Structure 1
């Protein structure tokens, strides 16, 4: 979407406004939350360990490869990487991208990662490194500032799909099958609603599973006077050659500031959708589940996060490489055991669910974050304002 901050109304919580606007120019340097501040939550709750990112630039996205390797990205052309589980982070700025916001990062290994920028001073771009961030190659630049790309997701190290906001009556979705060239496949998708767009708020508005399946989530403003906005999910089972689309019950609001923000699938059939309404000051219908590959959605229990969930992630599930890894699951998808943990975050708060959104536990005092991702069933990271990185362990 044309930058989340452009959609914020006067009634939005101050915390969201501050985070969306992020740090001021020149706020680069070592530092984040003190590593001495470590919180252990009661019961089966997670252990939270603040880490030093090496930058004070606002971090917007996080992509974990495993429990050791993760990449983060954010404002002022900033990236950061750890190869030791977050004990140390190395950060830098992509040359020539000092004014850019990298709203998504997709990590392949400790050496290989991709960055996606939104159009501010230059059109949306995609960069790739194959040497751990020492050098970056520009792979794609949009035709103009009018094209806004929100997020991307990878099937494998060389194949990915990118969600773009609607323009000229189509969604300019991109795809790569070689990890180097990016082609517009927007004509393969159903036509968008007027004003339909993704939310570049953490890099999880696109998801993949196995070798062929992908999902994109969007929001659209009211299509008729007095109506409400619409949350939609696009889905493909053939790497984007053909697409279907459906609506979802996530609150989208009335002013185009809401919809689906984050989507993930732990198998070919079972996944979740998170989002909400940025203009809302209270908790709305912000979490839904699918049991049929994203064709239909049913509301779960709302996470106790006001406004919109920016990013949510499974703790270790949803990384299967198979075409259909549902074997052994019962009708409700409990084949992975009784604990299918999900963590949801936004500038307004962070919460976790032990049972895939049937119940939630608020992580008190944990706010100011944009994104979360897990490298294993136990270990993940949260990133946010002022270069903040917190490791989360179950």
Structure 2
């Protein structure tokens, strides 16, 4: 559904609520609610500013915003109509957000709004026809990082210190040298994440499933090898860090979106990615796309999403419970709540 004008509210009551409040120590099985959005596109990325303000972005130029925790959604008019795929969104308030469109050459762009999507300013348009940008993240309202697939034998990492008014491509000496054909999977908007204001991580996909880490807000970078699945179309797909050291990651073979059964696809770290402990993969086949900790729900609570469904864990990924077997990609948490975006405009909220 394409809606002209500044925005259009979708105020429809929730249609599905699955609730079983069963105690599991200090944690509990989440209440799961599916909210209608009024769109039918794949919602590939979700970002929660707080318990009420949530943004989502997806294919065919779709950007949504909720101001009531996901009960209702409004579609925001976006630049370039329905020609772009917005693979990531990062918001800092009800009015201010960045969206990243992915694609070859000039299809990779970054826009910013400061008026809730009424207007957008184009901040970056990719000048390199061989490059493809995947994800972005901000550690503060001014400092941000965006990652793109390697091109011309160089790693493409952008950085801003002025809220995106200018984006600078980092010099090769400041970033890891790329593996041949190295890039990230623009699957969930979680291939670039911040652990804190100055610690930033990049999850690379094929061919090496490597982890890039910066301790100085993206100015310089180090690289770590990981034990996750890897290959010509396999590697890391999503990350979540609660601080500068404690993280969880998922990986996948993207060639097998609905059938992937790779085992080395979930892991946790307590030392900023130097070492990883592999965990159990979720029970259904399918490529995993993203993951988030839910720290306020307990130290071991996480939610993973992918093309085979969505899942939650109460024990740091040692075991998983299925939320849905539908395609899900975007995921983010705030407090004890998690929002999940998926195919056909589906959005779920979990309350732990």
Residue pair 1:32, 1:387 contacting (<8 A) in 2 also: no
1:98 is displaced (CA, Å) by 2.0
2:312 pairs with 1:312: no
Q: Deviations over 1:149-193 (max 9, x none)?
A: 000111011111111101011111001111021110152112110
Deviation at 1:62, TM superposition (A): 0.3
User: Do 1:32 and 1:389's aligned partners in 2 also have CA atoms closer than 8 Å?
Assistant: no
Alignment of 1:203-242 (within 5 A): 203-221=189-207, 230-242=208-220
Under a length normalisation based on structure 2, what TM-score does the superposition of the two structures give? Answer: 0.90
For structure 1, the 5+ residue unaligned runs are 1-26, 222-229, 318-336
**2:327 aligned to 355, 365, 368, which one?**
368
Return closer, same or farther for 1:33/1:315 CA change in 2, 3 Å cut-off: farther
Q: Deviations over 1:202-247 (max 9, x none)?
A: 10001112221111011233xxxxxxxx210011111222211111
Partner of 2:244: 268
Question: Deviations 1:295-337 (Å, cap 9, x if unpaired)?
Answer: 22221222224242101011146xxxxxxxxxxxxxxxxxxx9
CA distance in 1, matches of 2:303, 2:12: 20
3-state DSSP class of the match of 1:311? strand
Q: Supply the distance in 2 between the matched residues of 1:102 and 1:266 (Cα, whole angstroms).
A: 25
- Partner SS for 1:374: strand
Q: Distance in 2 between matches of 1:375 and 1:249?
A: 29
Residue 81 (structure 1) aligns with: 65
Equivalent residues in 2 for 1:119-138, closer than 5 Å: 119=103, 122-138=106-122
Task: Give 1:273 shift.
Answer: 1.3
What is the alpha-carbon distance in structure 2 between the residues aligned to residue 258 and residue 93 of structure 1? Answer: 34
Name the counterpart of 2:182: 196
TM-score (norm 1): 0.81
More displaced 10-residue stretch of structure 1: 201-210 or 352-361: 352-361
Q: Across the two proteins, how many residue pairs are aligned to each other? A: 337
| Cα distance in 2 for residues equivalent to 1:107 and 1:207 | 13
SS at match of 2:65: strand
**CA 357–110 in structure 1, closer or farther in 2 if over 3 Å, else same:** same
Q: Distance in 2 between matches of 1:121 and 1:245?
A: 26
Q: Which residue of 2 aligns with 1:321?
A: none
Given that 2:248 and 2:293 are in contact with CA atoms closer than 8 Å, whether structure 1 keeps it comes out as no
| Residues 1:244 and 2:244 are matched in the alignment | no
Range with bigger deviation, 203-212 or 87-96: 87-96
**Residues 32 and 117 from structure 1, CA distance in 2 versus in 1: closer, same or farther, beyond 3 angstroms?**
farther
Counterpart of 2:315 in structure 1 is 355
Q: Is the 8 A contact 1:379 1:392 kept in 2?
A: yes
How far apart are the structure 2 equivalents of 1:271 and 1:144? Answer: 32
CA distance in 1, matches of 2:90, 2:45: 9
- How far does residue 135 in structure 1 lie from its aligned partner after superposition? 0.7
